[in-house]
Every structure is written in structure tokens, then in C-alpha cells.
Amino acid sequence: RWLAPAVASALAAAAAALLFFRAAPDPAGGAPESPGERIKGANRIGFYVKRGGSVQPGGAGERLHPGDAIQFTYSATEALYLVILSVDGASQASVYYPSGPVAARIEPGRDVLLPQSTVLDDTLGAERFYGLFCAEAVAVEPLRAALAAHPDAPPAPPGCDVDALTAEKVAGSP
């Protein structure tokens, strides 16, 4: 009997890790939507955080640590093109999704897990994530460059809606 809680905990941790690294998109449903600043439209980004052996949903105001792995989700009401950018505590602009030069096509769905995760670097401070949901494929690098030039103003090309989440990266180990 004393093994039951340990086995249940191990199974829950394994299931969470499997979700984090292998879950297929589920357009029909999923985890509750993440809270956050919503700039325009019904399209949203969210994320999961893997710290050590634990995977938890993240959200606006989340305290992140260098070495945490994050994996983004999106909710979209129609097929669109998606780019996820960020500005870190040093005002450096980065592309989190996609890894290619053009916005990635996404299908409608709620809390759909994107196929890649990112391990966070050592830069501390506010980290602002921007999801650009565009009607047409757009080049990624000009968007990153525009955000680098104006870190307080996310690029919003015509035909794109922007969603934003802010997290705080603090010292400590994952």
C-alpha cells in the first residue's frame, strides 16, 4: 500500500513529460486558455514550462528560471500563419517559432501544442512573448528586426493580429 502514492506520482510525472515532448495537437480541446494581455482578436498563445521533472501550464506573470524549457501552444479560430517572437530583459528580440524563414501555417484549434520547445537562457528580467497570427505567410526576420528596433512595440503587419504574454525570468535553478 505504501508504494501506491509513489507509483501514482511517478506515473503522473511520466505522463506530464510525455505531454510536454510528444503530445500531438488537439484541435478539439485541451488545457484551459492562459490568461494574459490580449491585444486584438480571439487568437491566443500560451505555454507549458518544464522545470526539472515537472511540467506545468504557464501564463501571464509566470516566474521562469534560466534552464527552464518552454513549449508554446496556440488557440486559433481559423487556419492562419503564426510567428512567436520575444523581447527579453536585455531588450534582445528573438524568434521562438517557427524555426524557418516564413510564418508557419496553423490549423484552427484550441491549446494546440507546437512541435518544438526552447530552453531559456541566463538573461533575467521581464520576457515578453508576442504571437502574430497572420492571414498570409510573412517573412520572420523583418518582424524580429522591427521588434529589436522598437522592443516596446510589437510589429503588427496588415492582416496580422497580435497576442502578448509577459513572464518574469528570475535567478535560481530549474
The pLDDT value recorded for residue 42 is 85
**How far is residue 38's CA from residue 44's CA, in Å, rounded to a whole number?**
8
Question: Residue 27: which pLDDT band, with cuts at 50, 70 and 90?
Answer: very low
Give me the mean pLDDT over the 104-112 stretch.
Answer: 97
pTM for the whole thing? 0.76
Question: Residue 172: which pLDDT band, with cuts at 50, 70 and 90?
Answer: confident
Which ranges constitute the DSSP H helices of 113-161?
140-149
The pLDDT value recorded for residue 25 is 36
pLDDT digits (tens, 9 = 90+) for 30-69: 333 334 444 444 899 999 999 989 999 999 999 999 999 9
**How far is residue 149's CA from residue 156's CA, in Å, rounded to a whole number?**
14
**How far is residue 134's CA from residue 123's CA, in Å, rounded to a whole number?**
29
User: What's the fold here for domain 3-169?
Assistant: Coagulation Factor XIII; Chain A, domain 1 (2.70.50)
The three-point CA angle 167-160-115 to 5° equals 55
1-10, 76-85, 115-124, 135-144, range with the lowest pLDDT = 1-10
Residue 16 has pLDDT above 90, yes or no: no
pLDDT, greater one: 8 or 74: 74
The pLDDT value recorded for residue 174 is 53
Q: For the chain, give the percent of residues with pLDDT over 70.
A: 75
**How far is residue 39's CA from residue 26's CA, in Å, rounded to a whole number?**
25
Give me the mean pLDDT over the 100-115 stretch.
Answer: 97
Q: Please tell me what DSSP assigns to residue 158.
A: T
Phi-psi region of 78 (alpha: psi -120 to 50; beta: other; left: phi over 0): beta
Evaluate whether 93 touches 85 at the Cβ level (below 8 Å).
Answer: yes
Strands 63-64 and 160-169: parallel
Among 67, 163, 77, which residue's Cα sits nearest to residue 118?
Answer: 67
Phi first, then psi: give them for residue 21, nearest 5 degrees: -105, -15
The pLDDT value recorded for residue 118 is 94
Residue 153 has pLDDT above 60, yes or no: yes
pLDDT, greater one: 170 or 12: 170
Residue 2 has pLDDT above 60, yes or no: no
Hey, where are the domains in the chain? 3-169
12 contacts: CB under 8 Å, gap ≥ 6 = none
The pLDDT value recorded for residue 85 is 98
161 contacts: CB under 8 Å, gap ≥ 6 = 39, 40, 41, 43, 132, 133, 134
Phi first, then psi: give them for residue 35, nearest 5 degrees: -75, 165
